[in-house]
Structure 1
Amino acid sequence: MLSIALLLSLVGIALGFDSCQRIAIAVSSATDVYYPGSSSYVADNEHYAISSSQASKCSVEPGSAEDVGIVLGILGETKTAFGVKGGGHATNPGFSSTIGVQIAMTRFKEVTYDAATQTAVIGAGNIWDDVYEVLDAQGVNVLGGRVIGIGVAGFTLGGGYSWLSNQYGLAIDNVVAYELVVPNGTVVTVTEGNDPDLFFSLKGGYNNYGIITRFTLKTYPQGAVWGGLSSYNASYISAFNAATVKFCSEVTDPKAGMLIVYGYISGEVLHIVYLGTQIFYDGPTPPNGIFDDFLAIPALEQDVTTRSFFDLINSTSASINLSAGYRTVYNEIPTLNYSEANIEGIVDEVNFWGRTLSAHGAFVVSYALEPFLPSLLAHASAGSSAYPGSRKQVVLPTNVNLQWPSESEDSVFHDAARRTAQKLGVKGVPIYPNYAIYGTPVVDMYGEEGLGRMEAARERVDPDGVMFLTGGFKV
C-alpha cells in the first residue's frame, strides 16, 4: 500500500500535470491553451535569445483580464510553475519562460489614445514598435524602448530608459495607472491615489504582485525626429573616443540622445573590434555642434536622417535581427560619468573579452554607453518609485551584451558578464533591473527602505506566494 506521503506526492504531480487541462476547461472562449506541436505553442515559448526559451507543458494565451485571474487561481492552487511572457526579450534564463505553464500575453494588444487626458492605454502584450506605429498617426508618443522587439511589459516594469527620458524621466515616472490581476484572481486598477504602496512597488518591481494586463501612460506631442545608426572602423577609435567624451560632458540639450557602442564581433572570416552609434534628436534637424564630431568620422555605414519616430525605431531591425537566436546574457555596469579614463577601461575590456571569448565561440561582445543628463531623475520626486533606490544622482546604465551559440559555454559567458561588471562598475549605487544579470541582489536595485516597502506590499497582495512560482527578481 502506498504511504500517505507518497500518495500526496503523486497527487501533487498529477495536479501539476493536469493544470493545462483544468485551465482549458475553466477559461472563457476568449482564451486558448496550446500544446507541443502547434505553431502557437512554439511562438508562445519563443524568445529573442534562445537561452531564454524553455519547453513548457502547455502555453496559454489569455483573452481577458478575468481569464488571467482564473489561470492564476489554478496555478496557485496546484503549485504549478509558470512563466509570463510579454515581448519575449528577457535575457535572464527562466525570467519569462518555464517548464510548467507558459502564459503569453499576446492578445493584450490594445493601444488607445485619449486626447482629453493625454494618456494612452497600452496592452501588456505589445512590443514598442507596434505602439509607436499607432501613436505616430495620432501625433503623440510615450516613453518606451529604443530598438525593435522590446516588450512593453518588461521594459516598463523594470524602469525604462527612453529617447525621451532627458525630457520626461523614466518610463515608470510616466505611468498613470496599472491594470493588475492579483494572485487571488481579482482585477484591480492601481493608481497613486488608491494604493500608493502598491503603485510605488510596481514602478520597478516586475511581476512580484500579479500580472499586469494594461498600462495607462502619459503621452507627449511627437513630430519628426532626426537620427539613426552609424558604424565605424576601429582605426578611428581615437577620434571616436574624443567625440564620445565631448558629447557626454558638454551636450546639455534634453532633446539629444545617443547610444554609443564599443564591440567585438566574430564570424567565420571576421574577428574585429567595431564602433557604433545610434543618434537621436527630438526634432527634424539638430542644432549645429551636437553631433558634428561623430558625423565628421568616415563611416562604414550610416543611416542618419529626418524621419518619423516609428521609422527611427524600425531602422534598427537589421542589426537587431542579425543577433536574434543566439544565447545571450546582459549585465549592468553602473557608471557615473564617461570620462576618458572610463572609456579607455571599456576599450581594454572589449579587447580582452573579445579575444578571450572568441575562443569559446563568441558572436558578439559589446558595451553600450548611455549618456543622460544629470536632471534625468528630477522629473519625479524622491521615493516615488521602487527603482532607483535613490534619486540623488543619475547612474548611467551601461550595458554589456554577450552572445554565443553553444549551451555548453553558458557558464563561461555568464562568468565573464559578472567579472567585467565587477571590474568597471561603480559600487554602492542603484543597479538597473532591466540589464542586471540573474542573481543580482534586489537590495542593490531598490535599497533597504524601498525593499521593505515592496515586501510589505507583496505580502499583502500575495500572502500565499503564488508569484514565487514564476521567474524574475523576487522581493
Structure 2
Amino acid sequence: MSFTRALVAISACKVFQTMSPLVLPGQVFLPNSSVYNESVNSYFAAFEREVVPECIIKPNSSADVSVIMTASVAANTKLAVRGGGHTMWAGAANLQGGATVDLRNIKGVVLSNDNTTVSVGAGETWGSVYEKLIPLGLMVAGGRMLDVGVAGLTLGGGLSYFTGKVGFVADTVTNFEIVLASGQVVNANKDTNTDLFAALKGGSNNFGIVTKIDYPVFAHKYMWGGMSAFQAPSEPELFKAFTDFATAPTGDVDAQVILSVGFDTSIGVELSVASQYYTKQVEVITPPPSLAPFSAIQPQVFSSLRSDTILGFVAEQNAYNVPGARQLFFSATFKPDAALQQQIVEKWRDIIEPLKTAEGLAIYLVFQTLTKEMLQKSAASGANSFGLDTADGPIVSLLINPVWKSQADDSRIIAALTELVAAVDTLATAAGKYSKYRYLNYSFGTQNPIDGYGEASKANLKAVSKKYDPTQFFQSNVPGGFKLS
C-alpha cells in the first residue's frame, strides 16, 4: 500500500480505520469498546488514565508496527507509544485526541538454544520475564517491579538488583530490534548500527519504536534481602550507614541498599525503610558485612529479611504500589553525604507540612546509590547516552514519590514538590555535592533529564536522531517522553 504525505497533520485514527480491515485487522479500537477501555485503564497512574485518545492501536508484531509507522509518516499524524504504561505524568505515553500505539500484544520471552540470551517482546513486563526464567534456574538483570514494562525501563537506563555488577540494565543489552520512522525494521548492536545501539541506552523513545530486546542470561536461583523499618529517631544512624556504604573504598558489588523516608496520612507517622539486597548465591543467615550496619540499628518496627527468589522480592515491592492512584515521580541527584541527606529530609518536612490536609496523602523520599563500581562497569560495557564518567561516582539518585486521592490537590502538590527539587539542588550545590544527572525513569515531565547527560551526549543523540529519523518524526509527531530539542 502506498501513501502520499499530507502537508498538514490529520487524524491518525481516520487513517488507521480506513486501513484496518486490510493491513491492521482487529487492531484499531475506538472509545467505549472493551479493548479501548482496558488499555486506557491499565496505565499505572491516574494522570495517564485521564488522557482520552481518539483510538488505541494494538499491533501484534514488528511488521504491524512498520505499517503503522509508514502510514503515520505519510499522513503526518501524531502518535503516542506505550509499553507497560508505568510512566506517570499525563502524556508520557498517551495522546489526548490522538492515536496511542499499545505494544502489549508484542509478546515473547524466548531463550536461545544455549540458554545464554533471552529475547523479550516490547509488550512484556519484568514479572513475565522472571516467571519464565526462575523455574529454569536462570536470571537476567531487570526491573524491580512486576508490572514495569521491559522496553521503557531499559530505554531510560534501568536499575536492577545486579546494578553493582553490571551497570544499568541498558548496559547489558546485546541487541535492540527497532522500527524506524521509515518503516524499516533494523537491529542495533555492537556490530550493526552501533551509533544507534549506544543512543538507545538511555535515549528513550527518540529514534523509533523498539519491538524486541535481547539480554544476557545467567544462572541464579535465590538471593538474600528484604526490608527493615525504623522510626524517625533512627535517621542519623541510617544516613551514616548509607553514606558509608556508598563511599566504601572497595564497594560490595553484590549488595544494594534502597533507603526511603516517608509520611503516610493513613498511619500518621514518619517511617524510614532500608531495603537491603545481596545477590550472591550463598547461604546467608546473618547480613553480609557490607549490610550489617543497617541490621544493627535498633529498634526496628518490622523486618522481612530472608532468602528468596527475585520474584519474591519484586512481589514484596509491588505490594506497596497503588495502581490508578494520583501519583508522580520527581528526580534529583547529589554526591553521598549524611549531613546533606538530613538537610534534605528537614526541608521535605517543611514543604509537606501544609500538604498533609490532602486526602490520602503519602510522600516518600527514596535514596539509591550509583556506586563507583557500578559506573565503572557501565563504562566498560560500551558506549551509552548517560554522560556519566567513572570519576562522577559515587552519586545518589533521589526519587520523590507523592501519592494522593483528589484532583483538587494536584496543583499544590506538584508545585510543592517542584519547589522541593529546586531546594535539593540548592542544598547540594551549597554543600559542593550537586550532580546534573537525572535518572530518566524517575523524572517528572518538566525535568529534562536528557539535558543532565551533558552537552556532548545530547549533541550525539541529536546527530543519531537526524541520521535514523531524517524527517524528525519522533521529535515533532511523538510528543510523549523526553525530547531532544
**Aligned residue in 2 for 1:302:** 303
Aligned CA distance change for structure 1 residues 152 and 79 (closer, same or farther; 3 Å): same
Question: After the TM superposition, which of the residue ranges 252-261 and 426-435 deviates more from structure 2?
Answer: 426-435
Counterpart AA for 1:330: F
> 2:370, 2:397 within 8 Å by CA — same for their partners in 1?
no
Local SS of the residue matching 1:204: coil
CA distance in 1, matches of 2:120, 2:302: 35
**Aligned residue in 1 for 2:477:** 469
Counterpart AA for 1:421: V
Local SS of the residue matching 1:371: strand
**Aligned residue in 2 for 1:414:** 414
CA distance in 2, matches of 1:27, 1:246: 59
Asked if 1:25 is matched to 2:34, the reply is no
Q: How does 1:102-121 map to 2 (within 5 A)?
A: 102-114=100-112, 116=114, 118-121=116-119
**Aligned residue in 2 for 1:455:** 462
Local SS of the residue matching 1:392: helix
> 1:82, 1:103 within 8 Å by CA — same for their partners in 2?
yes
Kindly state the Cα deviation for residue 187 of structure 1 after the two structures are TM-superposed.
0.8
Aligned CA distance change for structure 1 residues 302 and 461 (closer, same or farther; 3 Å): same
CA distance in 2, matches of 1:448, 1:12: 32
Aligned CA distance change for structure 1 residues 224 and 203 (closer, same or farther; 3 Å): same
Kindly state the Cα deviation for residue 27 of structure 1 after the two structures are TM-superposed.
2.7
Kindly state the Cα deviation for residue 19 of structure 1 after the two structures are TM-superposed.
2.9
**Aligned residue in 1 for 2:33:** 38
**Aligned residue in 2 for 1:156:** 154
Instruction: Return the match for 1:199 from 193, 197, 200.
Output: 197
**Aligned residue in 2 for 1:213:** 211
Aligned CA distance change for structure 1 residues 170 and 433 (closer, same or farther; 3 Å): same
Counterpart AA for 1:290: S
**Aligned residue in 1 for 2:170:** 172
**Aligned residue in 2 for 1:5:** none
> 2:440, 2:450 within 8 Å by CA — same for their partners in 1?
no
Aligned CA distance change for structure 1 residues 454 and 66 (closer, same or farther; 3 Å): same
Local SS of the residue matching 2:105: coil
Aligned CA distance change for structure 1 residues 380 and 180 (closer, same or farther; 3 Å): same
Local SS of the residue matching 2:352: helix
CA distance in 1, matches of 2:23, 2:182: 15
**Aligned residue in 2 for 1:405:** 405
Unmatched 5+ stretches in structure 2 = 1-5, 429-433
**Aligned residue in 2 for 1:316:** 317
Q: How does 1:59-70 map to 2 (within 5 A)?
A: 59-70=56-67
- CA shift digits 1:22-46 (9 cap, x unpaired): 34234345x6222222332122223
Counterpart AA for 1:367: L
CA distance in 2, matches of 1:300, 1:266: 18
Aligned CA distance change for structure 1 residues 240 and 12 (closer, same or farther; 3 Å): closer
**Aligned residue in 1 for 2:324:** 325
**Aligned residue in 2 for 1:85:** 82
**Aligned residue in 2 for 1:75:** 72
Aligned CA distance change for structure 1 residues 416 and 279 (closer, same or farther; 3 Å): same
Local SS of the residue matching 1:259: strand
- CA shift digits 1:406-443 (9 cap, x unpaired): 23332322222322222223545322111122122355
Local SS of the residue matching 1:419: helix
- CA shift digits 1:269-300 (9 cap, x unpaired): x4221111222111341654333333343333
Aligned pairs, number: 460
Instruction: Return the match for 1:272 from 263, 269, 282.
Output: 269
CA distance in 2, matches of 1:127, 1:355: 36
CA distance in 1, matches of 2:391, 2:240: 28
**Aligned residue in 2 for 1:3:** none
RMSD over aligned CA atoms reads 2.4
CA distance in 1, matches of 2:409, 2:76: 32
CA distance in 2, matches of 1:332, 1:465: 28
**Aligned residue in 2 for 1:47:** 43
> 1:182, 1:462 within 8 Å by CA — same for their partners in 2?
yes
CA distance in 2, matches of 1:117, 1:453: 35
- CA shift digits 1:435-471 (9 cap, x unpaired): 1221223552321111111111111222223223221
Kindly state the Cα deviation for residue 111 of structure 1 after the two structures are TM-superposed.
0.9
Aligned CA distance change for structure 1 residues 91 and 429 (closer, same or farther; 3 Å): same
CA distance in 1, matches of 2:328, 2:468: 32
Aligned CA distance change for structure 1 residues 211 and 12 (closer, same or farther; 3 Å): closer
Local SS of the residue matching 1:214: strand
Kindly state the Cα deviation for residue 117 of structure 1 after the two structures are TM-superposed.
6.9
Aligned CA distance change for structure 1 residues 469 and 409 (closer, same or farther; 3 Å): farther
CA distance in 1, matches of 2:441, 2:288: 34
Kindly state the Cα deviation for residue 142 of structure 1 after the two structures are TM-superposed.
1.6
Local SS of the residue matching 2:275: strand
CA distance in 2, matches of 1:74, 1:384: 33
> 1:266, 1:363 within 8 Å by CA — same for their partners in 2?
yes
- CA shift digits 1:207-249 (9 cap, x unpaired): 1111000001122221210112332333444444444344334
Kindly state the Cα deviation for residue 115 of structure 1 after the two structures are TM-superposed.
5.5
CA distance in 2, matches of 1:117, 1:223: 15
CA distance in 2, matches of 1:371, 1:16: 43
Kindly state the Cα deviation for residue 359 of structure 1 after the two structures are TM-superposed.
3.0
**Aligned residue in 1 for 2:221:** 223
Report sequence identity in percent. Answer: 25
TM-score after normalising by structure 1: 0.90
Aligned CA distance change for structure 1 residues 23 and 95 (closer, same or farther; 3 Å): farther
**Aligned residue in 1 for 2:3:** none
> 2:79, 2:99 within 8 Å by CA — same for their partners in 1?
yes
**Aligned residue in 1 for 2:350:** 352
